[in-house]
Chains A and B, each alone.
Chain A
Amino acid sequence: ETGVTQSPTHLIKTRGQQVTLRCSSQSGHNTVSWYQQALGQGPQFIFQYYREEENGRGNFPPRFSGLQFPNYSSELNVNALELDDSALYLCASSLVGGGQETQYFGPGTRLLVL
């Protein structure tokens, strides 16, 4: 069984640029959630994708967007990067509807915006 994987592991961007982060869900899972973890804080929910549609969104602006693909992998896109977007971005996958909705996390992508 393959766990949740994320790429890249680290990324450096400058203000105003755009970034795409990728996540492959755990085998057998159909839902992907994205979280932002600023330094010294707990993760904050960005959004969740289920059956290729957004299934709930946290308090993040529209420049944070996402996709889910038929194989349940997902992308997080952030436009017009700001310094405060520097954080660890975590992806989690789960199986909705199968009675096992526990979210399993990937190792994260650390984004630094200069």
Chain B
Amino acid sequence: AQSVTQLDSHVSVSEGTPVLLRCNYSSSYSPSLFWYVQHPNKGLQLLLKYTSAATLVKGINGFEAEFKKSETSFHLTKPSAHMSDAAEYFCVVSDRGRNAGNMLTFGGGTRLMVKP
């Protein structure tokens, strides 16, 4: 069984300061890990993914995440927050289905607020 824990339900930062959204996972397999972002009343947009290549993954809009197997963590960072980054962020782990498909297990989400 797989699970994801997002350690903060809300994070508030000032524009121009660094962002850190924390995620820990549990997986019986070598996981694929993702971060998705959801703006209000919108669907989910893929930010980045880890699939056992480089442990430091770069995504869109300046975000990156580091896979640390020893800590079972996959924290999301950005050096400088922008007002447009305000949204809900989901850390996600992938589980392989019967026919090589993949089912996603989502964390509870972290709401990022950016103050001017």
Interface of A with B (CB < 8 Å)? 4, 31, 33, 35, 41-45, 48, 50-51, 55-56, 58, 90, 92, 94, 96-97, 101-108
Contacts and interface: CB of A to CB of B under 8 A. Distances in A.
Chain A interface secondary structure, helix, strand, loop or mixed?
A: strand
Interface of B: 32, 34, 36, 42-46, 49, 90, 94, 97-109
Q: Give me the 3 closest cross-chain CB pairs, A-B, nearest first.
A: A42-B106, A56-B97, A105-B44
10 contacts: A33-B101, A41-B108, A41-B109, A42-B90, A42-B107, A43-B106, A50-B97, A55-B99, A101-B32, A105-B44
Chain B interface secondary structure, helix, strand, loop or mixed?
A: strand
Given A101-B102, A107-B43, 20 more contacts: A33-B103, A35-B104, A42-B108, A42-B109, A43-B104, A43-B106, A45-B103, A45-B105, A48-B97, A48-B101, A50-B101, A55-B97, A92-B104, A94-B101, A96-B101, A96-B102, A97-B100, A102-B46, A105-B43, A108-B43
